[in-house]
């Protein structure tokens, strides 16, 4: 697949494109996207799993066996499980976050949507999610899918990333900026 898309020029982009093509051939794009979401949620919740994925101290066989057990317990489908085992075997598991993000981008493009990565201090309720989707849709002119994460260190507010654009309205950033401004005033 020749492209001048910078995302596809990366290792993560090429792996995500291969997975997307395989999912498309099997008419399972949505299932694979859902499975990748499950795996991302497990990564976000478990420091042990995150360490396993990112640490070069574990062998490819150890990572593959652990991934297979985690995927089985989480009800992750065969295509996604095999993909995760493949990237473990190829020693690319450390880039799985980027691969998931790239897959979501490809899937969203296929549906003529954009994906917004939203990090909040607390879990957003359904009403807040719906309002944020409508606001972002009005801004970008396309349907918006949200990939949400919770980071309590933000204290409040949101960080929203759509493609290369980012809006950081978190209380943590505002306090940092205020601290810097006060240092400069003294």
For residue 186, give both structure tokens.
């003294």
In the chain, where the domains are located: 6-106, 113-185
Span of 38-52, 55-69, 158-172 with lowest mean pLDDT: 158-172
The CATH class that applies to domain 113-185 reads alpha beta
What pLDDT digit, counting tens, does each position of 145-168 carry? 888 888 888 888 899 998 788 989
Q: Is the dihedral of CA 76, 78, 84, 88 positive or negative?
A: positive
Strand segments, DSSP code E, in 81-140 are 113-120
> For the segment 93-152, what is each residue's pLDDT rounded down to a tens digit?
999 999 998 998 899 888 888 888 899 999 999 999 999 999 999 988 888 988 888 888
Can you name the CATH fold of 6-106?
Peroxidase; domain 1 (1.10.520)
**Whole-prediction pTM value?**
0.70
Share of the chain above pLDDT 70, in %: 94
Q: Which secondary structure element, helix H or strand E, spans residue 149, and what is its range?
A: strand 143-150
Question: What number is the average pLDDT over the span 74-79?
Answer: 96
Share of the chain above pLDDT 90, in %: 61
Are 30 and 110 spatial neighbours (Cβ–Cβ below 8 Å)?
no
């Amino acid at each position: 697949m020749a492209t001048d898309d910078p995302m596809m020029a990366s290792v993560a982009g090429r792996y995500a494109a291969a997975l997307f093509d395989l999912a498309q051939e099997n008419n399972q794009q949505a299932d694979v996207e859902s499975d990748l979401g499950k795996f991302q949620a497990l990564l976000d919740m478990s420091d042990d799993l995150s360490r396993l994925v990112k640490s070069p101290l574990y062998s490819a066989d150890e990572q593959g066996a652990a991934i297979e057990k985690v995927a089985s317990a989480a009800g992750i489908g065969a295509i996604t499980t095999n993909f995760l085992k493949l990237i473990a075997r190829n020693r690319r598991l450390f880039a799985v976050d980027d691969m998931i993000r790239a897959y979501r981008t490809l899937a969203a493009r296929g549906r003529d949507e954009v994906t917004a990565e939203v990090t909040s201090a607390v879990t957003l309720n359904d009403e807040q999610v719906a309002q944020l989707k409508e606001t972002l849709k009005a801004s970008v002119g396309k349907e918006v899918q949200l990939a949400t994460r919770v980071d309590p260190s933000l204290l409040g507010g949101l960080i929203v990333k759509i493609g290369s654009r980012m809006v950081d309205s978190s209380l943590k950033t505002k306090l940092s900026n205020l601290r810097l401004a006060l240092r400069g005033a003294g």
